[in-house]
Structure 1
């Protein structure tokens, strides 16, 4: 695939197969407004490079062992010998990396790679190449410039101007001299130092002496820098240090810059503090809601809430005051980080418009922010008490229940004069909401306890009424038992009559089915007997050859007809024998259902596969039965063959699934045979188990398959069979006892 390069943007040529890495990189480069082109081989790459390229990425697999020649061809085609060329390799090795450096490659990228990281490296290469190009152009204009060196700060100045618009903090490390040589304005803001201060020290200036896991920061940096100098794009997490000493959780991404004669590493630093705090807040909220849902005690729940909020902002101390049910006095409920003596002093204080932050917030039902306790009139009666414990600011939010009733207050204290920022106002809202849920749950539980006590009295009164009702029910049950016994006798009589009627229909069907093949055989036999007598009579006078040949031909044809009809009669007799299956002749044993079905379906699988049908089995390996595997196998085979014969008529492919599940108690097992065929017509569902009923008359079926299956399931196996059918296919479900009944006890007997 060759893709032309846009001419109105910086141009990047990728000489590589269109892998997923390359496609993602193209998308990222386009978002950076870079024109891109892709060539699937070296020749196509040379053709595209002839149109101009500002940077080339070459897949080492396409270059093979001729890396030098491939790089030279691409650069010559671009008519720019100094064009940056990056080599990509999906099978990186030290030997190949050495050859890439010898071929003049600016860098060596290992595949697969992160598209964003490689895009950033490309942007840096383009920017640095542009800076070097500008210097070279200036030197060519001023002939005397060739005799003097490039200013040592030229690179840093150009690099700093490039990074001015970076969305993240960026530092530039000089590895040879162990110095910071450049930083953008976001780095100054992150570390709380102006650029001049940042650049005065080494790399460890912005890191603590040791990381949280005890590893020395200087050792960590050296290891990561070494990996970076080997061509890797290194991403890791570490703690940095603010000017005031507090730790900053960061994600650091290191990338080597290809500058001749210099070992420079570009570091992009992302402050994870807000993300970590948000994750901690989200996890803490979930844990608190789980505690509330499980009915945890109120005080431990509130303590955990307050510690969660205190972890979101430095220097904050939180408390929860609970308003009595009379709505007049407040109780100190929780404040794990505040002095216990201070909380005790606030206990049982009556709320009012001038009772500090919490009392006023509960009285007015709205937030109260006191940024300076010492000079705020709300704290006039209590400022001495607050000063004794070093408290200088207090913001309080009323806690509401579902009915907007004030339940208490949530307060945030500070030991310095200050006002809340937007994030802290969000925190106090979240805390007040969670505290409201916990307090409301506690009061709801108390209300439920009162209801439980009342219910005990109601239960005692209802017990007498239920006792009387029980006696009346027992009398009704006795009457129902007598009625059921009468119904049972009536049912047995009806079943006997139905069996006689079914037997009559069966005998009539058998007679009808056998009459045709036997009658056909009899007619042919009678005809041939007459022909034989005629042949014998003519034998005395001599036979012509033509007469004998005619007789033999007719005899052969008659034999075939007789054999075919007798075979048909034999098949029908075999089917008739299956109708009245005898349990006594079946072998009963204990077997694993999954293994049994797999072995049973094995010979059918090849036939189904040849017809384009799929057979799937889903049977738990532990399912076991104590039953009759022979009759069960006959039922399953009949049902699968019925699917093949009827469900997929006119279709080249279909799917049959066999699933088995045990009941909760494990006493019964359900086996379902489902297909995705055309289904059974609604008018035929009521007749499918009738003997000799078939929708494909004359196609070789006897119409006894489902009738035999029904008899075996309800007789030998002691279960019952269900069918459900629609446009999406048909499902037969066998409901069988895990332990088959003994002879004479099957369902329906």
Structure 2
């Protein structure tokens, strides 16, 4: 055994091997113990390096060691001032070659494929930089075990430990165990398994108590798969899943322990649950500061010693509005508020300015932090990467940053986490801004409503005042209207009476005049009788009496006809029977009565009637209306046609809105445009002596009164006249 290695001894590890041998992994492990690694590819170069006196140990590839006697190995051992330990590395290790290596004085004979971790541990043990674990009383060594357990564990993807039950001392581990805990095999073997755990679990229970309880259940025959928090040599917590299997030999009580690192799974579950909780907070309208604080803590729990912050940008898009970072110094965060963003404004300010992610692995030497590196150094911040929080490609809301206290580059996991955090922060910020905008709209709307309410109250008061005036005016108007209606009725009645008197005066006056004349002739005849009546005088008197009788009868018949027309003016529903009837029946009866006049005048009647249509109305007044309209065409339309062909059309259809449309038209002389407004006036006629002027007046009264409809007239002089009636299928009561 060589004497312990000291700091004043050589610190170079020489590797004599082909160029294909990769020494980088081994160099990274040895640098922590202050060793340099030098590689040569020829034997003479190796001897020269050893003679320099700086080599502490040599690794020699068997392929460069010379002939079968491996003569380069002893030459290297003796090339320096003191014997040099030499490890021979073989690409094809075998028992015969191992014996020759021992004869050549090699300190170790190892496979060339030996892992860098195992090789580094062998070197450090050889140089006594580390010491092997002491043999503990009652703890078996690998040599005393009945099975080569190390060989069995070598290929497992999980960390596997062989432990002595009762003492919890580790007897053997595989390569994955050394990787998981960052401890060499020498440090692990024959140490206590509980040394790999924190004293207390996250739930507050002592680790020893938790582990021993599971061991007891295993020994009681229960399979045990449970979770425990263990720790890396750096102090980092590792979430692990342990499976215990008891092993018993003739001499030893052992425990097989499989350890699976479930940290990533735990972190993924925590991240998923945390994201869901954040989305619920956002949906429920939680304060933005609370949401972002929870987001920062969620992401920090995913990191290995990282600190996170959220910066919010002012609405002007130029300066920092607020910062949130519960694990960062608050003085540092407060100093950032109000600072402008720009092309060299640290990681966050630059990221918001560029609208792109900014990675700064060394704050103290990066120009982006020139203006802020002293503040960062004061608080021990050495690395920072930041991602902008974007509403769209042109609108920046803020930034999410990760800080570390050592120089480092972001991992792929870090980049994915910061993308997730920025996305969630953006959702929360946008929701809050929209809520604030909505609140501003609500407040503005309330102001508008209040102002509008005042206006409406004023308008209501004014409307009420105007309404009072209108009510008064309406009352006055109503009284005035009633007075006017009364006067109009009196005037109409006066006009009607005057018309009646005028119309009756002529025939009655003629009759009276003729009666007076005959009374005088009768008196003269009596006188002649007293003196003797001549035959000629009597014959003359009789002729005059016959003529007078004819005149008087004609005028009295005329007066009787006028009186009959006057009686029809006052027709109403009370004097006419009402019932359901088919229009075809009314039209058929009407046409039968007018056919003689049509044949006499050689006129054609065109019928376009839906005979099945029914009405609940007054058939008598309806027939009178149709008769008056046809008679009007006969008297006024064709009186002077000079035997030219002509026609009258009667059309009856359902208008589809609960009304019957009746159209009566002719191809006669028509009505002058200036006379159309007066055709419904009583006694208005364009043929004095041939018409009383009451036909259309009576028709209008029946249509608008008894039948409850409307009547319209249209005419083109020289081409005919048409009347359109709109009558309800059910007449008003």
TM range (shorter): 0.3 to 0.5
Tell me which structure has the larger Cα radius of gyration. Answer: 2
